[in-house]
Structure 1
Amino acid sequence: MLGDWIIRNVDDGDEGTVAAFGFALHMHYLYHGDFEQKNMFLAVKDNEALALAHLTFHDTFHAAGHDDDPEFIRYLTGEISFGGGEEDEAVKDALLDTLIARAREIKAQYPHKRIVLNQYIDTGDLGEQSYYLKRGFTVYETIVILKYDLTRPVPVYPLPDDVQIRPFLLNHDEAREKYHQAEQASFDGVAWSLNHLAWMQGTPEMVNFCAFSGDQFLGNTSTWRIGDGHSATENVFVIPQWRSRGIARNLLCAALSYLKEQGKSVATLGTYGTNKKAIRLYTRLGYELDGFRLTLGYGIE
């Protein structure tokens, strides 16, 4: 008991309670295989939920090929939601303490891995940044957000004769596994989980533009709806042995042309601020700076 409220795990009878914190979170709770009740927590007063916190495994957590690298960071992403209600800092503190405690339990299962509890916060949200900095978080990474004005023409580039780009449905296990293996190869062992990959296929207006040479999966750009007239062009990758052949820019241009035909006005993507090669590619295509997002993290001992 904390004051006149308690914190407890979400259980099977809490579907309606979770739904009150938003449609997306409700759908994750019901259908996303990576959302587990043992990693979800409610602050409850008089049978009314005040806030909900949950912990999910970031793409880096189960990255392949880094077991011998003690400096490789494996993130656990924590989120706290007060729904439509006003935030209570005491409740927020208690839920964050609970997320940290749960992260320490996970760390105990992986004692040799470097594990960090993280939050993604826009640079303009000084209140959230201040809160987490006061709680011992520090800045780990800066993410650059870039946008493409779809009222502009989309450039056209030559594509190697042996490469085709087409929309590709990831609607069965074989297709998702082919994508997953290519993503791991492209991002040094880091990839969406198969649960998350399957989940994303139900995202509004999701289209995967994929490059192939025969049956070989070479790369991808995905689009999905963010808001009216606004879509993402994310998950841009090409497997290492097929890079420097113009495939990435053609994948992006295929996605941008599609979004333009759909009447979208802007497309955005994010990349790490240290990724000079990607930033150069995007800006040369015509993407412009839209803002920054910080990764704030708390090292778990």
Structure 2
Amino acid sequence: MALQIHPYCTEFEERVKQLSHKAWILFKYNKDYEHQKMSCVFNEEDQLISVGYLRHGLADDHDVFEVEMPVNELAANRMNEVIEALFPIFLNTCQQLRRPNKKAKLVAWDDFTADQELSEKMGFSPFQTYFLAQCPLGQSMPDIREPDGVHVKFHPMDTRKERIEYTELENQFYKGILYRSVNMLEWMMGGPELHTISAFEGDELVGSVMCWQTGAVERLFVIPRWRNKGLGKYLIAKSFEYHLKNGRNNAETLVNEQNKVAMKLLESMGYHFPVRLELKSLDIAAAN
């Protein structure tokens, strides 16, 4: 008997919550997911073993759909079956949600493309390489001065207007799989901890970085006219300071291997790059 696939519904809520808390709260509280369905994968004993859904990102000339496929121990020996069951659903979802007249890519990390023969059969090919950069935090902070002409401070983004302005600027630097909507930002702000540190020239936002309770230092950006003035280093130093005050001794971030400037900056701040992550993609043809 084959695996059974059913759309997410309230009847499955508790089982989805046990399998993937992230998936459960995304579909319950994030407005980005109101227009698509999670696919729930059940085995022959009617046990939930996986859920599948897509995260929709926007690049300049194409849509990006990132595969999310949490599983539990019951799927451990059936990964290819789960993937083959979800794959046509993902393709159909891409067609339904893509912007008109835009190309589309389905992208997936190793949990979906680990079986090279299967991923090639589905049409996936290497796309991008990332590093999970890590930095041990000592008790002494880097001696980096705030650049003249800017003021760096905690940025709570209390109003929706602020959140929209922030997201629009941030997405000039993070597109595709790293794209983030206002809905996603607001969902994240409703979590246990998101601490945003931003730089302002007068009232203008010119750079920012975000910190998570996991020790993450992410979404660093500096507008072009403020680059090469030490602002990026200062923002990272302030994020280190924040994490140290909260009892953390390691920081980490995700960086694209092709972004040599960012890698050089992170290395100068004490990061190393022990974990390499491969992302594969599949071009989605327009429906006839």
Structure 1 position 35 matched with structure 2 position 24:
no
**Secondary structure in structure 2 of the residue aligned to 1:204:** coil
| Structure 2: gaps (5+ residues) | none
- SS across alignment from 2:221: strand
Identical amino acids, percent of aligned pairs? 23
Following the alignment from structure 1 to structure 2, what is the Cα–Cα distance between the partners of residues 274 and 139? 13
TM-score, length-scaled by structure 2: 0.87
Between the two proteins, the alignment pairs up a number of residues equal to: 281
Match of 2:68 in 1: 79
- Distance in 1 (alpha carbons) for counterparts of 2:96 and 2:262: 36
Q: How does 1:82-121 map to 2 (within 5 A)?
A: 82-87=71-76, 88=78, 89-107=80-98, 110=100, 112-121=101-110
Q: Structure 2 vs 1, CA of residues 17 and 291 (structure 1 numbering), >3 Å: closer, same or farther?
A: same
Normalised by the size of structure 1, how large is the TM-score? 0.83
Pairing 1:149-228 to 2, within 5 Å after superposition: 149-151=136-138, 153-187=140-174, 191-226=179-214
Query: Cα gap change, 1:101/1:181 in structure 2, threshold over 3 Å: closer, same or farther?
Result: closer
What letter matches 1:115 in structure 2?
Answer: A
The secondary structure found in structure 2 opposite 1:171 is: coil
Aligned partners of 2:166, 2:35: CA distance in 1, in Å?
28
Out of 204, 216, 232, the position equivalent to 2:216 is 232
Distance 1:214 1:207, change over 3 A: same
**Aligned-residue offset at 1:173:** 0.4
Deviates most, 268-277 or 132-141: 132-141
Identify which of 214, 230, 234 aligns with 1:246: 230
Shift in Å, 1:49: 2.8
Q: Which amino acid aligns with 2:107?
A: N
SS at match of 1:148: strand
Aligned-residue Cα RMSD (Å) equals 2.5
Residue 205 (structure 1) shift? 3.0
